[in-house]
Amino acid sequence: MPPEKIKYFLDSTTLIHAVDKSAAYHKECLETVDEVAKGKIPAATNLETLEETLFILSKFISMQNVIRITRDYLIMINLTKLELKKETFEHALELLETTPLKRLKDAINVATMLEHYIPTIISEDKEYDKVTQLIRRLHPKDLP
């Protein structure tokens, strides 16, 4: 998908909770991922988010299933996968120094979004609300 058409960035919370049936917003996250898969929601994520998704899911489901799920996300045609560049990583470090963000993973996501002009992250993580001057957070339950 051309970068100018990507409106949303999928955070690991959305990808994880789409799988975790015990998650409070499992249904909404699953619907979000399904809409992305169908091409109805123009979205991207980065490989770091997929790595984190794999790591967290491996704590409560079998590695065989985690690998299958991660591969499904990787081959999802309508989900753009963005790679981490050195400049993006450097920008993330700057964000850690200049914003209230405390986790490198969150800063990498914001830096990736800014680099690709993606305005909104779909996430349950309220940490992103600390940088509303840079990006907007949309909870999966609030998707139109």
Domain of 68, CATH number, reads: 3.40.50.1010
pLDDT tens, residue order, the chain (144 aa) = 455 589 999 999 999 999 999 999 999 999 999 999 999 999 999 999 999 999 999 999 999 999 999 999 999 999 999 999 999 999 999 999 999 999 999 999 999 999 999 999 999 999 999 999 999 999 999 987
Cβ pair 1, 80 in contact under 8 A: yes
Residue 94 resides in a domain: no
Phi-psi region of 123 (alpha: psi -120 to 50; beta: other; left: phi over 0): beta
Q: What is the pTM of this model?
A: 0.94
Residue 105 resides in a domain: no
Question: 9-29: buried (b, 16+ CB within 10 Å) or exposed (e) per residue?
Answer: bbbbbbbbbbbbeebebbebb
Residue 93 resides in a domain: no
Q: How many CB atoms lie within 10 A of CB 144?
A: 4
What pLDDT does 4 receive? Answer: 57
Q: What is the pLDDT of residues 93-103, one digit of tens each?
A: 999 999 999 99
Residue 109 resides in a domain: no
What pLDDT does 5 receive? Answer: 81
Q: What domain range is 66 assigned to?
A: 3-83+118-136
Q: What domain count does the chain have?
A: 1
Most distant CA pair in the chain: distance in Å?
Answer: 40
